[in-house]
Amino acid sequence: MLNDLKQQPADALLALIKLHNTDPRADKIDLGVGVYRTGQGDTPVFGAIKAAEAKLVAEQDSKAYLGPEGDMGFVEKLMPYIFGKDSADMGGRIEGMQTPGGTGSLRLALAMVKRAGYRRVIVGKPSWPNHNQICADLGLEVFEFNHAAADGTTDMDALRAAIASAQEGDAILLHGCCHNPTGIDYTHTEWDEIAALLAQSTILPIIDLAYQGLGTGMEEDAYGLRRVLVAVPEALVSYSCDKNFGLYRDRVGALYAMVADPADLSKVMSNGHALARANWSQPPDHGAAAVRLVLEDAELTAQWLDELDQMRDRMRQVRAKLAAAGKTGGVDLTPVGGQNGLFSIVPFTPEQVQAMRTKHGIYFAASGRINVAGLTMANIDQFVAAVADVTA
């Protein structure tokens, strides 16, 4: 029977990594892999995490299972940063559980949506490819609307139309901040409108908050999520610490459910626990424990926030320099300056993407998505010159 399985195409990003790694040119540039890099091109371990890990090694006295809900101290310590300082006063309507990264959280959220009887998920296009892949694997229909308008802003008309046409049994998946892959976020005014529209509908919001702190600030990046949660009776929140704590390979995430009636919370979370048990059984502990230790210690928390500020400031500097290049060949880089997070899409043709690789050793996705953190003050002029060359 196994021989009846069909060959699946290689993951495009993994193939891109391989192409970059085998390129012998010393000045090659990797703008594909979605990790933060310093001005020297490194992906560092946070100093606050290093200190927490040292403490964990010294003090941890067991490697026993924690249960499918994971480290609940970690889950609870994150809540004020996600939901605000008054999150404890939300009437017992929110509870969470630990997951293996943001992907595990999304998988669990969408599995719960399917189990609850939802049939369709409204998703902006383009989106992170795994959003649609998870929906397809679970048998959920995807209804797409255009996320970005031609002028580099959000296409609010398309979103309004998608919400207006929603049916009973629809959920909507929204990026909380630092949209992947476009970097184009909703403004505060737009989030206010989105919250009002959702409040008038039967749609279940699923907020994917994978990059909090990498846009304009921890509080600012949570604005949209908090506005939606105030407006609607129920929601799911998928959260990742992989980026804002630099814990990519440790896979640290959480799923939160908000219910209308606190009496339903135990029932909802029991389904989350059961689905987790059937998928990964118990989440990995080390990274979540390190985050918990950081958030339990005021000095380590301050150190983490300072390191996060430095990351964000560096990416904003890169964006500003790209924007200053303006019209470069046949591409206008100006909009990149007003976008957020790790990613932006530059409107290359497939032939131009290939030319950037073969002629200039600059690697990024076929969609034109670039990871701005792969650019440094040492190589950004090389990138701009290459763009001018292949798009002129």
> Is 191 a known active-site residue?
no
pLDDT tens figures, 22-39: 999 999 999 998 899 998
Share of the chain above pLDDT 70, in %: 99
Once rounded to an integer, what is the mean pLDDT over residues 43-53? 96
Average pLDDT taken over every residue of the chain: 95
pLDDT tens figures, 297-355: 999 999 999 999 999 999 999 999 999 999 999 999 999 999 999 999 999 999 999 99
Once rounded to an integer, what is the mean pLDDT over residues 31-49? 92
pLDDT tens figures, 238-262: 999 999 999 999 999 999 999 999 9
Once rounded to an integer, what is the mean pLDDT over residues 123-139? 95
DSSP string, 314-369: HHHHHHHHHHHH-EETTEE-GGGGG--SSEEE----HHHHHHHHHHH-EE--TT-E
> What pLDDT does residue 87 have?
64
SS3 98: strand
Catalytic residue among 170, 242, 243, 321: 243
> What pLDDT does residue 113 have?
97
Sign of CA dihedral 224, 225, 230, 233: positive
216 contact partners, CB below 8 Å, separation of at least 6: 177, 312, 340
11-20, 210-219, 252-261: least confidently modelled range: 11-20
Task: Give the pLDDT band (50/70/90) at residue 80.
Answer: very high
Q: Does domain 65-296 have CATH number 3.40.640.10?
A: yes
Q: Reply yes or no on whether the pLDDT at 375 is more than 90.
A: yes
Task: Give the pLDDT band (50/70/90) at residue 151.
Answer: confident
CB 226 within 8 A of CB 83: yes
Q: Which residue has the higher pLDDT, 87 or 157?
A: 157
Task: Give the pLDDT band (50/70/90) at residue 384.
Answer: very high
pTM for this predicted structure: 0.94
> Is 243 a known active-site residue?
yes
Task: Give the pLDDT band (50/70/90) at residue 52.
Answer: very high
Tokens standing for 98? 């630990």
Share of the chain above pLDDT 90, in %: 91
Q: Reply yes or no on whether the pLDDT at 88 is more than 70.
A: no
Alpha-carbon gap, residue 227 to 178, rounded angstroms:
17
Alpha-carbon gap, residue 141 to 155, rounded angstroms:
22
Question: Which sequence spans correspond to the domains of the chain?
Answer: 10-44+312-391, 65-296
Catalytic residue among 30, 71, 77, 128: 128
> What pLDDT does residue 89 have?
58
Catalytic residue among 208, 221, 242, 285: 208
Q: What is the CATH number of domain 10-44+312-391?
A: 3.90.1150.10
- Best CA proximity match to 311, nearest among 371, 226, 224, 255: 371
> Is 128 a known active-site residue?
yes
